């Protein structure tokens, strides 16, 4: 279709092609960014916390439609709600952290409770008793909540962030921290995971098999998809404790949302940034200086060398204050470990073609080979014989002896864990 001047009203193919390419590149960028942030926004609700309570006056009568505001002290995330006809308020889906809760109503003094810790996979009870007065009058109370969850039948414990990062845990891995809880015991003899180079840490909770424990990261299943064993890496350790905000260990009678495994549940919650920039830099060094010899180490030989270095750094802060935050963490693992191995190998005389005689084997010694029986060595066999070092331990008297070695094996692992979280606008209603 053309105008009177002969210009076409329809776009030509070149314009359409340019528009499609431009739109496609922008669309791909938006989709990629959305997928990158989506897991943090849409993860399971099981790792989030809840808080509820009853608002009454000093006589014990419930207060209807009292306004309750909860604020995260680190990120300034704010949500509000009002109490119902029974005086009950409830906040759910709260990220773990430390909060301030304010309750107010006309004709009553405002009451503020500060320093309220909310833990993943649990609900806290915070009740308010408001005194008659003016809204401008405010009573501030520092919270000291009990660690007992009285709202569910779940039996378990919580390993807080200071315990994960500041305790001198051997290996500095997840299961060393989980073993601090009651009913949890290391189980290194359980079957290894084929997906972690045959090495993986395991724990038995209340006597159940390790493969029956569900391990979650921000509500997502992290167990071995083939055999159900605990996750690990080439080092055999679950590294990255500096990335975690806390670990919940649910041992009995937990909610049905933790399905898929018939035993316990271990749930990790990753850190988020806050309105202030915070960072950490650390290193954990371990060697054999204070180690004891094991059963196979010889008394007249030094302890085989062992050197392990774990180190890392983390930083978090705001991308946009009160809205979007980031946290990035890096951890490296270096290990050089030697172990004593004892094998049977030809002695030095056997490498030269001399073996003890059947009539007088004691006459064949390294000091005098005249009492040995000379056995010709096939020249084609000699190169293969030279590949095996001669024995260096006790002589067996038959041309062989013990070969004692302590060879080093090196491991290197560099897991990088990143977490980006976005918060809803302030003032969102519950």
- Say what the alpha-carbon torsion angle 85, 91, 93, 97 is, to the nearest 10 degrees: -170
Lowest mean pLDDT among 31-40, 340-349, 352-361: 31-40
Look up residue 251 and give its two tokens. Answer: 């041992």
Comparing C-alpha atoms, which of 219, 258, 223 is closest to residue 238?
223
Q: Which residues contact 425 (CB under 8 A, 6 or more apart)?
A: 323
Comparing C-alpha atoms, which of 183, 244, 182, 188 is closest to residue 216?
244
Residue pLDDT, tens place only, 114-147? 888 888 777 888 999 999 887 666 667 666 555 5
Mean of pLDDT values over 361-373: 82
Residue 250: φ, ψ to 5°: -100, 115
Look up residue 220 and give its two tokens. Answer: 């997502």
At residue 137, the pLDDT reads: 66
Judged by DSSP in three states, 16 sits in helix
Rg over alpha carbons for the chain, rounded to the nearest Å, is 33
Lowest mean pLDDT among 38-42, 150-154, 228-232: 38-42
pLDDT above 60: residue 30: no
Neighbours of 370 (CB within 10 A): 8
Residue pLDDT, tens place only, 324-353? 889 999 988 888 888 788 888 898 888 888
At residue 25, the pLDDT reads: 55
At residue 20, the pLDDT reads: 44
Whole-number Å distance between alpha carbons of 88 and 384:
83
Higher pLDDT, 369 or 142: 369
Look up residue 411 and give its two tokens. Answer: 């491991």
Residue 22: φ, ψ to 5°: -65, -45
- How is 182-229 classified by DSSP, letter by letter? TTEEE-TTSPPPGGGTT----EEETT--GGG-EEEETTEE-S-TTT-P
Whole-number Å distance between alpha carbons of 125 and 148:
10
Judged by DSSP in three states, 348 sits in helix
At residue 191, the pLDDT reads: 52
At residue 48, the pLDDT reads: 78
pLDDT above 70: residue 311: yes
Whole-number Å distance between alpha carbons of 390 and 376:
18
pLDDT above 90: residue 91: yes
At residue 430, the pLDDT reads: 41
At residue 84, the pLDDT reads: 94
Comparing C-alpha atoms, which of 157, 160, 270, 178 is closest to residue 218?
270
What letter does residue 349 receive in the DSSP assignment? Answer: H
Whole-number Å distance between alpha carbons of 280 and 166:
12
Judged by DSSP in three states, 21 sits in helix
3-state helix, strand, coil split of the chain in percent (to 5) is 15, 40, 45
Q: Which residues contact 138 (CB under 8 A, 6 or more apart)?
A: 109, 110, 111, 112
pLDDT band (50, 70, 90) for residue 423: very low
b/e per residue, 244-279, with b = 16+ CB within 10 A?
A: bbbbbbbbeebeeebeebebbbbbbbbbbbbeeeee
Residue pLDDT, tens place only, 395-422? 888 888 888 887 765 555 554 444 434 3
pLDDT band (50, 70, 90) for residue 77: confident
At residue 2, the pLDDT reads: 44
Average pLDDT of the residues of the chain: 77
Judged by DSSP in three states, 365 sits in coil
In the chain, pLDDT over 90 holds for what percent of residues? 15
pLDDT band (50, 70, 90) for residue 69: very high
Residue pLDDT, tens place only, 203-261? 888 888 877 888 888 888 888 777 767 776 667 778 888 888 888 888 877 777 777 77
Residue 426: C-alpha distances to residues 41, 78, 84, 430 (Å): 16, 5, 22, 11
Comparing C-alpha atoms, which of 176, 194, 326 is closest to residue 266?
176
Lowest mean pLDDT among 43-47, 69-73, 163-167: 43-47
Find how far residue 302's CA is from the centre of its chain.
35
Look up residue 309 and give its two tokens. Answer: 């270095």
Residue pLDDT, tens place only, 153-211? 677 788 888 888 888 888 788 888 888 888 888 876 655 555 555 455 678 888 888 77
Mean of pLDDT values over 147-156: 63
pLDDT above 60: residue 289: yes
pLDDT above 60: residue 89: yes
pLDDT band (50, 70, 90) for residue 321: confident
Find how far residue 188's CA is from the centre of its chain.
18
The length of the chain is 430
pLDDT above 80: residue 6: no
Look up residue 375 and give its two tokens. Answer: 């056995």
At residue 86, the pLDDT reads: 93
At residue 10, the pLDDT reads: 47
């Amino acid at each position: 279709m053309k105008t009177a001047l002969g210009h076409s009203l329809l776009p030509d193919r070149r314009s359409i092609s340019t528009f499609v390419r431009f739109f496609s590149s922008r669309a791909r960028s938006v989709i990629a960014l959305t997928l990158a942030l989506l897991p943090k926004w849409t993860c399971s609700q099981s790792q989030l916390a809840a808080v509820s309570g009853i608002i009454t006056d000093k006589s014990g009568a419930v207060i209807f439609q009292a306004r309750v505001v909860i604020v995260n002290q680190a990120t300034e995330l704010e949500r509000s709600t009002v109490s119902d006809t029974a005086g009950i308020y409830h906040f759910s889906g709260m990220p773990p952290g430390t909060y301030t809760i304010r309750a107010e109503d006309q004709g009553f003094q405002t009451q503020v409770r500060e320093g309220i810790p909310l833990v993943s996979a649990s609900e806290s009870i915070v009740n308010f008793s408001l005194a008659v007065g003016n809204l401008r009058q405010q009573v501030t109370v520092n919270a000291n909540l009990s660690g007992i969850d009285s709202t569910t039948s779940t039996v378990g414990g919580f390993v807080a962030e200071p315990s994960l990062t500041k305790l001198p845990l051997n290996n500095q891995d997840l299961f060393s921290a989980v073993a601090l809880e009651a009913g949890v015991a290391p189980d290194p003899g359980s079957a290894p995971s084929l997906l972690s180079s045959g090495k993986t840490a395991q724990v038995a909770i209340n006597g159940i098999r390790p493969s029956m424990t569900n391990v979650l990261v921000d509500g997502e299943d992290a167990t071995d998809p083939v055999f159900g064993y605990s996750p690990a890496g080439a080092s055999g350790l679950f590294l990255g404790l500096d990335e975690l905000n806390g670990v919940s260990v649910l041992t009995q009678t937990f909610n049905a949302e933790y399905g898929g495994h018939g035993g316990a549940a271990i749930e990790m919650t990753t850190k988020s940034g806050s309105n202030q920039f915070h960072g950490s830099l650390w290193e954990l060094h371990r060697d054999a200086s204070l180690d004891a010899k094991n059963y196979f180490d010889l008394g007249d030989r030094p302890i085989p060398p062992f050197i392990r270095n774990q180190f890392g750094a983390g930083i978090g802060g705001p991308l946009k204050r009160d809205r979007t935050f980031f946290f990035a963490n890096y951890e490296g693992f270096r290990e050089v470990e030697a172990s004593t191995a004892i094998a049977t190998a030809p002695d030095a005389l056997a490498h030269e073609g001399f073996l003890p005689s059947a009539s007088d084997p004691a006459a064949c010694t390294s000091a005098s080979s005249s009492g040995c029986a000379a056995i010709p060595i096939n020249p084609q066999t000699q190169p293969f014989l030279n590949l095996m070092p001669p024995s260096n331990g006790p002589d067996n008297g038959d041309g062989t002896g013990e070969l004692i070695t302590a060879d080093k094996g090196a491991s290197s692992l560099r897991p990088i864990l990143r977490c980006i979280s976005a918060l809803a606008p302030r003032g969102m209603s519950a």
